[in-house]
Structures are given as structure tokens and as C-alpha cells.
Amino acid sequence: MEHPGTIPPGRAQQWATRIIFLLSGLAMSAWAPLVPFVKLRLGINDGVLGLLLLCLGAGSIFSMPLTGYLTNKLGCKTVILLAGILLCIDLPLLTLMDSGLGMALALLLFGAAIGMIDVAMNVHAVIVEKASGRAMMSGFHGFFSLGSILGALLVSGMLSLALSPFIASLVVVAFTLLSLATMSKHLWNDKKDKQDGPMLVLPRGWVIFLGLLCFVMFMVEGSMLDWSALFLMNERGINSHQAGLGYTLFAIAMTLGRLFGDRIVNSLGRYKVLLLGSLLAFIGLIMAVSIDSLYALIAGFIMVGFGASNLVPIVFTAAGNQTAMPANLAIASVTTLGYAGILSGPALIGFIAQISSLPIALCCVAVSLLLVTASARAVTR
């Protein structure tokens, strides 16, 4: 992909990028409160629901590598708008489908749209960050976290007011369409590569390693989401109504860390943030798992969230700056490998916990962060 131009982006382009990240987080989290209604409407058990939810991940994994090609041919702006419109069409369908096949297809499309916007917005963010000449990626990802919180609160709030899932989804769609219409003119209309090229390019060399690091960091996030509550219930005796405390602390710390991350990165540099952040997350997770104390739990989950908050943005910046592959294809590859960490990581943790224990499995996750620590200099050179 060619550089969009020599004129650095103004505040309008930067805020348009932030809004896209916020909308992506909002759309993904808006789905979460709708899951129980899907299970009730279809009359399915947990096993069938789990298989259906795999369709969402499968759609994302399928679309992410293709999006690298599409951003090169169509431009980031076109792909972002296309993915946004697909999300707006599909979200209400998720509240209406009354058959397993229909829901599976709707989830495949939803996952594909999420994967498309995820890759395209990160490619666009790299372009804007490069042109600005300063670290901005953490702040962009911070708006994704804000969107995740906003989406869950918005939909849950509407459902608690006895609005139907369909009406709640339409409110989200209206907000998304209004936001897209307002800021689309400020998205960078980057130049297109008119040369023929392959639709899929296998990642190679350094990009594979960056994808492995992203896999580890997404696995940490996935372990907090899927296993922290179970750990608190089974290992620390916390009741089910309070077991979500760990993930809540983690999510708040991660959001704050990302919102202030650009300032931190510009002050300390990417090397120190990657080195110290991964170490902080490692120590926090070990402390939360191994010390039977409420204070250690609280401090540990906060340390994991804050320490891990800026790791993924730094790796995305590194993927955009490397020269082994075109930036758009590299980001697509790293995103796909990272997303595989969210999908397969929790299952891997479950396997390790089955043959040993959940605390040992979570300690293995913590130790994997040391790979990020050891690679900090190479990633940020």
C-alpha cells in the first residue's frame, strides 16, 4: 500500500480513527448480552450454543487474511465502511433468527464483518500514526475498550428496561450508522495498488514471530475473560455474584492503560513499555494465582490489565513498520494469529487445568509473557 500522502493527518483523521475503534468494540460487546436470548429462542443446550459461537470466530479467521488484500485494492476507507454496513445489517438478524442454520450463517457474517473492520482499522491506524510522527496506537485501542464497555452497558440497560433484543439492536445500528456517516469523510482515502497480486500471502519470518507474540498477549486477555471468574469461585471461594470482580478490575485497568498509553509510550519509549509492561503483567498474574489474599488478587488483576494494556498496540505498530511484507498483509497476518490466541488459548488452558490444576494453567500463561519480555528489544529496534 502506498503512503497516503505527505500531508500529516489532522485531528479530524485521528478522531475518525478513534471512532472506528470505538464502534468496533461497541458492536462486538453489543452481541454479548444477546447470547442468553439466542439460547432461549432456539431452545438449545450449552454444547450446541458453544458450536454456534465457534461460527463467529470462524467468520473472523476467514475474513482477516482476505482483508489485507482488500485494503490494498479498495483502500481502508472503503473496507471499513463496507464492514460497518455489514455489521448494521447483521446485528438485528442475530435477534430474529429462529433456526440453528440461520443463526450459524448470521454469526459467520457477523464474525467476518468484525474481522474485516478489525484489520482495516489497524491498517488505517498505522498510516495515521506514521504520518503523525508520534505514538497513537495505544489510544486507538483504548477507544476499542471504551466501546466494549459502552456496548455492553447500552444493550444491557435497554434490555433491563424491557426493550426487545431487536429494538436494542436497532438503537446500536442507528448510533453506528450516524457515526459512520458523520466521520467517513475524514477517513483516509489511501491510494490503491493497481497491480495484480495474490489474495492470500502466507506470513513469513519476522511477521510470524510478531504473530506469535500477539497470540500470547491475546491468550492472556482470553484467559482473564474465560477463566478468572472460575478461578475466583473454585480456588478462592468467592461467590458467583462477585466472581466477575477479577475481570472487571482487569478490564478497567487495561482501558485506562490504553487511554494514557500514548503519553506513556512517548515518554518512556516502546522498548521500556514492552519490557516493563510484560514483566508487570507476569508478576501480577503470578501474584494473583499464588498468593491467597484478597489484596493480592485485587493488585494482581490490576497489574495484569495495566501491564498488558499497551503490548498489543506496540506489536501492531511493529507489524506496520517491518519490511518483510507489505504493512496491510502483515497486520492481517498478525491479527489472525492473535485472534487464534483468543479462540484456542482458553481451550488450551482448560486442557492444562484438566491434567494439573487451574492455578498451574494460569501460571503457564504468565510464563508465556516472558517471551514478550525477552523480545522487547528486537520488536522495538
DSSP string, 306-344: HHHTTHHHHHHHHHHH-SSS-HHHHHHHHHHHHHHHHHH
Total of domains in the chain: 2
pLDDT of residue 66: 87
Mean pLDDT by groups of 10 residues along the chain of 381 residues: 49 90 90 83 79 83 86 88 95 92 93 91 88 86 88 85 92 94 82 52 79 92 80 82 78 91 92 96 95 91 94 90 82 85 79 89 94 94 85
195 domain residue, yes or no: no
Same domain, yes or no, for 20 and 136? Answer: yes
198 domain residue, yes or no: no
Same domain, yes or no, for 272 and 147? Answer: no
Domain coverage including residue 246: 206-379
267 domain residue, yes or no: yes
Of 153, 186, 219, the one marking the end of a domain is: 186
Same domain, yes or no, for 268 and 348? Answer: yes
C-alpha span between 267 and 301 (Å, rounded):
25
Name the strand (E) or helix (H) holding 3. none
C-alpha span between 36 and 167 (Å, rounded):
16
Cα 24 from chain centre: 9
pLDDT of residue 8: 54
Same domain, yes or no, for 371 and 313? Answer: yes
pLDDT of residue 62: 87
Same domain, yes or no, for 347 and 248? Answer: yes
User: Other C-beta atoms within 10 Å of 352: how many?
Assistant: 17
C-alpha span between 179 and 185 (Å, rounded):
11
Same domain, yes or no, for 93 and 213? Answer: no
Burial category of 226 from C-beta neighbours within 10 Å (exposed 0-12, middle 13-18, buried 19 and up): middle
pLDDT of residue 7: 47
Which CATH number does the domain housing residue 130 bear?
Answer: 1.20.1250.20
- As given in the structure block, the three cell numbers for residue 268 are 518512556
263 domain residue, yes or no: yes
27 domain residue, yes or no: yes
Same domain, yes or no, for 158 and 243? Answer: no
Same domain, yes or no, for 137 and 235? Answer: no
Q: In 165-260, which ranges are continuous DSSP H helix?
A: 165-183, 206-236, 245-259
C-alpha span between 210 and 320 (Å, rounded):
11
First to last CA, the chain: 23
59 domain residue, yes or no: yes
344 domain residue, yes or no: yes
User: Other C-beta atoms within 10 Å of 284: how many?
Assistant: 25
Model-level pTM? 0.78
